[in-house]
Amino acid sequence: MTTTRRKFLTTGALAGAASLAAPAVKAQSTIRWRLQTYAGTSLGAQVAKPAIDMFNAIAGDEMQIDLFYADQLVPTEELFQAMQRGTIDAVQSDDDSMAGPTEVTVFGGYFPFASRYSLDVPALFNDWGLNEIWAEEYERVGVKHISAGSWDPCHFITSSAITSLADLSGKRVFTFPTAGRFLSQFGVVPVTVPWEDVEIALQTGEIDGVAWCGITEAYEVGWADICSHFLTNNISGAWIGHFFANMDRWNELPEHLQNLMATCFEQSHYYRQHWYWAGEARLRTEGDKLELTSIPDADWATVESAAREFWEEIAEESETKARVVQIFKDYNAAMDRAGRPYRYG
């Protein structure tokens, strides 16, 4: 076959245009993160997995987060150090359980009587200044505080009835460090075991119960199958938990992935809020595994009064702690003045 000059020029021009129109695409590998939650597998299916699944589905080949449950990569009390050094990229936990080395660690989980309802937590962080304090504290130690959200209230779930303050004395209870520190003045004996070992500890009698959650979680993780009683008085209206990330890894992400992650985690906070809120009422009224008991309000007022003294004790420890305590004071005073539906009685 002979090639004319016209055909050669035409073919060459087309080929050149094609090469200019379709530049080589540099293949990029999927960004992979490892996130460990404080929650075990059964609870994690509610409080963590939906958010991670949502993020992974939207991010697709660009980024994927591998989810690990309580103690699967590192023990819960080592979560912070593992995240700080980059062994884990992100964490879902309260400050208290993961022993974060910050001035706000004591307020994570259940700071006694700081909140009465689950909506108190996002209000405090988004509208009363706690977000800024948490961001400052964690930035100092190389960690990104992504967001805070509320979980369930904190109740005693035990193997025997509690109907008076005297019944608390001697109870060996799995609880949060700060809650244990506060409750010890009433004779409660805080016991620390890995989260996944709580069920066995309840079965063997190593502990008499938990002051770790509300009734929803007790049913979800199986503790309601072992314990017999649920105390309706609580020491906090909502657990304060967070999503965190290693600061360097966070800064490496493009802005749209940062925004996507924050949005999915915010959706997670919202889901937990209504999941717990609905479950607490439904299982109190329809559940058949735990007998409900109460300590008279007049006696429980002693515990609430002690909590205010505990606040003052914490506030004296540092300027930052004093700032947080003052916000709790101002917020709760405002809610009391606002009255119904913000506060009843």
The string of pLDDT tens digits covering residues 269-286 is: 999 999 999 999 999 999
Amino acid at 175: T
pLDDT over 50 at 24, yes or no: no
Residue 229: predicted pLDDT: 98
pLDDT over 90 at 164, yes or no: yes
Give per-residue pLDDT as tens, 86-134: 999 999 999 999 999 999 999 999 999 999 999 999 999 999 999 999 9
Residue 1: predicted pLDDT: 41
Task: Mark 145-175 as b/e (b = at least 16 C-beta within 10 Å).
Answer: bbbbbbbbbbbbbbeeebeebebbeebebbb
CA 69 to CA 296: how far, in whole Å? Answer: 38
CA 104 to CA 96: how far, in whole Å? Answer: 9
CA 342 to CA 138: how far, in whole Å? Answer: 31
Tokens representing 65?
A: 């987060």
Residue 210 Rama label (left phi>0; alpha psi -120 to 50; beta): beta
Give per-residue pLDDT as tens, 244-260: 999 999 999 999 999 99
CA 274 to CA 281: how far, in whole Å? Answer: 11
- As a whole number, the mean pLDDT across the chain is 92
Residue 196: predicted pLDDT: 86
Strand partners, 289: none
Domains plus CATH for the chain?
Answer: 31-102+113-150+240-282 (3.40.190.170), 154-237+288-338 (3.40.190.170)
pLDDT over 50 at 203, yes or no: yes
pLDDT band of residue 345 (cuts 50, 70, 90) is low
pLDDT over 50 at 19, yes or no: no
